[in-house]
């Protein structure tokens, strides 16, 4: 049994950290469902560390500074994951929910983060794909490219131990990787860092392709036309009305982009394209990207929904040239567009997207990083943050305990017995020492007590007593020939 550990971190959500002293790493422990049709179980998430985001002001050379930061990140992650390095290989006894001990292999299974963090963790260059070897000028094509593998990356990184630095840098360059000294995943042979990078609906779709798409549409139709359609939109269930339009909004959140998606097709469906062009390709492209977004968010999948997901993406690619024809794009070499081509395989491997969407960990950032930071005096905040988080956890635990006691559980507190598996009660037969009836005829015994075989069994018993050296089936045969001379 393998317990995947999902390590997620999101630095960008800490923009309020003025001096960016730390950002949190969460550890999620849970089973990743093998069957995507099953609704995924909720994972327990645990804050395990704050990573330093120090500025390293002493290094003036920019590329050396970038490398030092990346090396620092990998050294910290190596430290955090050190306890599972050995157990991942040799296994560790853990008790499961039904109190059965199992040998588990905790491995680093999934990394959840935005694009810059995916680059940082996989040591790949900006503008490349963290999962495959697509070149920057082919990002707009819908086709599969050879995947990066951890073994080939480790082969390049092993050269770092030699004195020949040129050979190390050359090998890294050929593999399309940054020359990092001992990336943390080097020590985890059962993990594959490139495979463990998961899709991310928040950054890749809502704050990525959907954001781009809305910008392109505003450019094509003009802010005035889009905004007037927004104002004319009638109220309806489950839609947000943008009464002041959407063209002038800034710093739009993922949730606001979701609301825009609900009305987007309605806004443009009847708008004429400039130059009296036929708008069917544009409508189809928008429709298919929205389809892809909604299908990607499903909390359970079948082969059919996965096929429809791929078909929607293919149909978007088939119709996307309209944006070039209308002059709003020159090409589609956008890493976030390419990332959509890895969605289907990730869903098949790691289950539905709600298992690893950064939207979910966003609330943890508010609770455990943003609120925690605001509670400090903004000086040497690291220790203050950890104490604040610890206090909050204790208060929450105590509140849960008080709540539990108030629900009338106080008497059970001392008499609590450990939960055991249900056991079958021992089957014993209790008989009185003296019979309750002195004498009974065979006829009454059979008639009143329902012992229809009494005479036969008595015959067997007598045969057994007379021939106690014979096996059971033989005495049974003898029993049939016993004549009982009384009733
Ligand atoms: Zn790729």
Structure tokens at 287: 């429709």
- Higher pLDDT: 374 or 40? It is 374
Q: What is the pTM of this model?
A: 0.71
In terms of domains, do 135 and 124 share one?
A: yes
Nearest-angstrom CA–CA distance, 478 and 475: 5
What whole-number percentage of the chain has pLDDT above 70? 85
The answer on 231 and 174 residing in a single domain is no
CA dist., res. 308 & res. 292, Å (int): 8
Which range of 184-188, 299-303, 369-373, 478-482 scores highest in mean pLDDT? It is 299-303
Distance 48 CA to ligand 1 centre (A): 30
Task: Average the pLDDT over each of 8-17, 66-75, 310-319 and give the range with the smallest value.
Answer: 8-17
What is the reported pLDDT for 324? 93
Q: For residue 338, report the distance from its CA to the centre of ligand 1, in Å.
A: 6
pLDDT in tens, 362-407: 667 777 777 888 888 888 787 888 888 889 889 989 999 999 888 8
Mean of all residue pLDDT scores within the chain? 82
Q: What pLDDT band is residue 353 in, cutting at 50, 70 and 90?
A: confident
| pLDDT score, position 20 | 41
193 and 209 share one domain: no
Tell how far the Cα of 335 is from the centroid of ligand 1, in angstroms.
8
Cα–ligand 1 centroid distance for 474 (angstroms): 78
* Cα–ligand 1 centroid distance for 200 (angstroms): 14
Between CA 24 and CA 31, with CA 25 as vertex, the angle to 5 degrees is 145
- For residue 276, the model assigns a pLDDT of 79
Helix (H) / strand (E) containing 95: strand 92-95
Report residue 358 as tokens: 């950064």
435: left (phi over 0), alpha (psi -120 to 50) or beta: beta
Pick the last residue of a domain from 198, 221, 241: 198
State the pLDDT at residue 7.
52
Q: What's the CA-to-centroid distance between 129 and ligand 1, angstroms?
A: 5
Residue 176 Cα to ligand 1 midpoint, Å, equals: 13
The DSSP code for 354 is G
For residues 163 and 389, the model is more confident at: 389
State the distance from the centre of ligand 1 to the C-alpha of 189, rounded, in angstroms: 22
CA of 64 to the centre of ligand 1 (A): 27
Q: Which helix (DSSP H) or strand (DSSP E) does residue 6 occupy?
A: strand 4-9
Q: Cα(222) to centroid of ligand 1, in Å?
A: 34
How many angstroms does the Cα of residue 206 sit away from the middle of ligand 1?
19
State the burial class of residue 374 (Cβ atoms within 10 Å of its Cβ: 0-12, 13-18, 19+): exposed
Residue 1 has pLDDT above 70, yes or no: no
pLDDT at 5: 56
pLDDT tens digits, 221-265: 999 999 999 988 888 888 888 888 898 888 888 889 999 999 999
pLDDT digits (tens, 9 = 90+) for 414-440: 555 555 666 666 677 787 888 778 888
pLDDT of residue 296: 95
How far does residue 163's CA lie from ligand 1's centre (Å)?
Answer: 33
Domain interval for residue 467: 426-487
Q: How far is CA 83 from the centre of its chain?
A: 22
Q: Looking at the predicted structure, is the pLDDT value of residue 194 above 80? A: yes
Least confident range of 103-112, 176-185, 475-484: 475-484
Distance of alpha carbon 274 from alpha carbon 220, whole angstroms: 8
- Domain annotation covers residue 282: yes
| Residue 313 CA to ligand 1 centre (angstroms) | 14
Ligand 1 centroid–CA 294 distance in Å is: 21
**DSSP states of 97-158:** TTS-EEEE--EEEEEE--HHHHHHHHTBPTTS-SSB---GGGTTS-S--PBP-HHHHHHHHG
Indicate whether 276 belongs to any domain.
yes
Over range 141-154, report the average pLDDT: 88
CA–centroid distance, residue 150 to ligand 1 (Å): 15
Query: What average pLDDT does the segment 192-200 reach?
Result: 90
How large is the average pLDDT for residues 46-70?
81
Question: 65 and 17 share a domain?
Answer: yes
Average of per-residue pLDDT across 21-34 = 52
- Give the distance (Å) from ligand 1 centre to CA of residue 332: 14
Statement to judge: residues 167 and 224 lie in one domain: no
Domain assignment present for 382: no
Mean pLDDT computed over 108-126 = 89
What is the side-by-side strand order in the sheet with 22-29? 44-52, 22-29, 4-9, 107-112
- C-alpha 132/C-alpha 142 separation (Å) is 13
For residue 140, report the distance from its CA to the centre of ligand 1, in Å. 11
Position 50 pLDDT exceeds 70: yes
Q: Which of 418, 419, 401, 400 is nearest to 410 (CA)?
A: 401
Q: In total, how many domains does the chain have?
A: 3
Res. 304: pLDDT tops 90: yes
Domain boundary residue, one of 179, 198, 217: 198
Q: Does 162 lie in the same domain as 94?
A: yes
Q: In this predicted model, which residue has the larger pLDDT, 37 or 479? A: 479
């Amino acid at each position: 049994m393998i317990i995947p550990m999902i390590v997620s971190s999101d630095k960008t959500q800490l923009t309020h950290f003025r001096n960016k002293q730390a950002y949190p790493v969460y550890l999620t422990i849970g089973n990743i469902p093998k069957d995507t049709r099953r609704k995924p179980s909720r994972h327990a998430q645990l804050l395990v560390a704050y990573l330093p985001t120090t500025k390293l002001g002493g290094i003036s050379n920019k590329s050396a500074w970038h490398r030092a930061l990346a090396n620092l990140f990998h050294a910290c992650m190596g430290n955090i994951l050190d306890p599972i390095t050995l157990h991942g290989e040799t296994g560790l006894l853990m008790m499961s929910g039904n109190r059965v001990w199992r040998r588990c292999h905790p491995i680093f299974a999934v990394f959840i983060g935005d694009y810059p963090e995916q680059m940082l963790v996989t040591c790949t260059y900006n503008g490349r794909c963290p999962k495959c070897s697509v070149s920057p000028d082919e990002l707009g094509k819908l086709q599969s490219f050879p995947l990066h593998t951890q073994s080939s990356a480790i082969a390049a990184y092993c050269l770092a131990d030699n004195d020949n630095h040129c050979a190390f840098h050359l090998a890294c360059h050929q593999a399309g990787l940054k020359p990092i000294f001992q990336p943390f995943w080097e020590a985890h042979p059962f993990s594959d860092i490139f495979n463990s990078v998961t899709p991310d609906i928040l950054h890749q779709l809502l704050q990525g392709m959907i954001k781009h798409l809305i910008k392109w549409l505003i450019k094509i139709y003009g802010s005035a036309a889009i905004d007037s359609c927004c104002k004319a939109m009638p109220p309806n269930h489950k839609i947000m009305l943008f009464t002041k339009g959407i063209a002038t909004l800034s710093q739009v959140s993922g949730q606001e982009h979701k609301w825009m998606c609900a009305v987007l097709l309605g806004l443009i469906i009847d708008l004429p394209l400039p130059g009296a062009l036929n708008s069917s390709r544009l409508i189809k492209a928008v429709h298919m990207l929205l389809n892809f977004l909604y299908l990607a968010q499903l909390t359970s999948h079948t082969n059919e929904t996965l096929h429809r997901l791929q078909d929607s993406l293919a149909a978007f690619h088939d119709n996307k040239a309209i944006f070039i024809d209308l002059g709003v794009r020159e090409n589609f070499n956008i890493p976030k567009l390419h990332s959509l081509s890895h969605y289907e395989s990730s869903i098949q491997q790691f289950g539905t997207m709600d298992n690893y969407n950064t939207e979910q960990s966003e609330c943890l950032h508010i609770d455990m990083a943003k609120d925690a930071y605001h509670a400090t005096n903004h000086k040497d905040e690291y220790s203050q943050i950890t104490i604040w988080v610890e206090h909050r956890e204790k208060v929450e635990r105590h509140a849960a305990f008080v709540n539990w006691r108030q629900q009338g559980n106080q008497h059970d507190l001392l008499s609590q017995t450990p939960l055991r598996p249900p056991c079958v009660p021992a089957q014993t037969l209790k008989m009185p020492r003296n019979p309750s009836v002195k004498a009974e005829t065979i006829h009454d015994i059979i008639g009143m007590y329902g012992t229809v075989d009494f005479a036969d069994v008595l015959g067997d018993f007598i045969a057994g007593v007379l021939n106690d050296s014979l096996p059971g089936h033989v005495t049974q045969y003898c029993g049939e020939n016993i004549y009982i001379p009384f009733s």
